[in-house]
Amino acid sequence: MRATRLMTPAGDAALVLTAHGSADPRSAANARAVAGRLARMRPHIDVRVAFCEHNSPQLVDVLNGCPGKAVVTPLLLADAYHARVDIPRQIAGCEAADRVRQADVLGEDDRLVSVLRQRVTELGVSRLDDALGVLVVAIGSSSPAANARTAEVATKLMAETRWAAATTAFATLAHPSMAEAVTRLRRRGARRVVIAPWFLAPGRVPDRVQRFADDAHIAMAAPLGAHPLVADVLLDRFDRAVAERADQTAA
């Protein structure tokens, strides 16, 4: 279901799209592609790209270069360390922290789940295939609460399909391993398995998942990428942050 868009004017607030950053250039390229889509969808907003680490420009530098208010809009799926600790710390270290607000992460938004479902069907899979098991693979967090929220994606993914089962594995955590998760799907009736990567972009961790998929002869879908619905959710997060700032100012 599509979330209701808050059409609060952004005023002069810049949208600072903030990605984690990666040594893999494909990740930064995806962030810039998302920023370009945002700029086309909202040409009156000053859209800037920043990274927490690995890539330039760094978040603090971008915020210091913003002449007015800014909303740090995380290009992150999980509400974990980078959203809760790293980004707030960098905001606090900029020259005009009082003019900066942080928006919510993307989370397990239904629109993003629909993109993931689309990526699976792009493999040639039918939504009516009742022999199919889908392994959702995410990065994983040291926060059990964040992992529990991410695990909800597998259940949501089953909506509007007849797939046999779906489950979750975390690429950076030991348990359950991807192999264990595949076994679990087969025990639940799946005769064929595909991998649905809960990643925004290609990179080193997705490549590791791809190697597992290749070794296991399992098809793997593409990441969410710069899909229009990714940009749509980001704009909702930005709009909400702007509206909250306006409400606080009015109060």
Residues 126 and 176 in one domain: yes
Instruction: Give the pLDDT score at 1.
Output: 32
CA dihedral 142, 109, 222, 173 (to 10 degrees): 10
124 and 174 in a single domain? The answer is yes
What is the pLDDT at residue 199? 97
Pure H helices in the chain = 25-41, 59-64, 81, 87-92, 110-121, 144-157, 178-187, 204-216, 228-250
What is the sign, positive or negative, of the torsion defined by CA atoms of 147, 149, 150, 152? positive
Query: 115 vs 94, 107, 112, 176, 233, CA distance in Å?
Result: 35, 13, 5, 25, 12
Give a yes or no: residue 33 inside a domain: yes
Whether residue 79 sits in one domain with residue 65: yes
Cα–Cα distances (Å) from 176 to 38, 147, 204, in that order, read: 36, 12, 20
The pLDDT assigned to 176 comes to: 86
Q: What is the pLDDT of residue 142?
A: 87
Which has the closest alpha carbon to 63: 25, 4, 14, 9?
14
* Residue ranges for the chain with pLDDT beneath 70: 1-11, 246-251
Determine the residue type at 71. V
Q: Which two tokens stand for residue 212?
A: 């597992």
Verify that 28 and 96 share a domain, yes or no. Answer: yes
pLDDT digits (tens, 9 = 90+) for 137-154: 999 888 899 999 999 999
Structural domain for 100, as ranges: 13-107+227-250
φ/ψ of 129, rounded to 5, equals -75, 100
Domain for residue 246, yes or no?
A: yes
Residue 31 belongs to a domain? yes
- Measured in degrees and rounded to the nearest 5, phi and psi for residue 245 equal -65, -45
The DSSP call for residue 117 is H
Which pLDDT does position 11 carry in this prediction? 57
- This prediction has a pTM of 0.91
Same domain for 92 and 167: no
| Domain count along the chain | 2
Q: Is the domain of 155 the same as that of 192?
A: yes
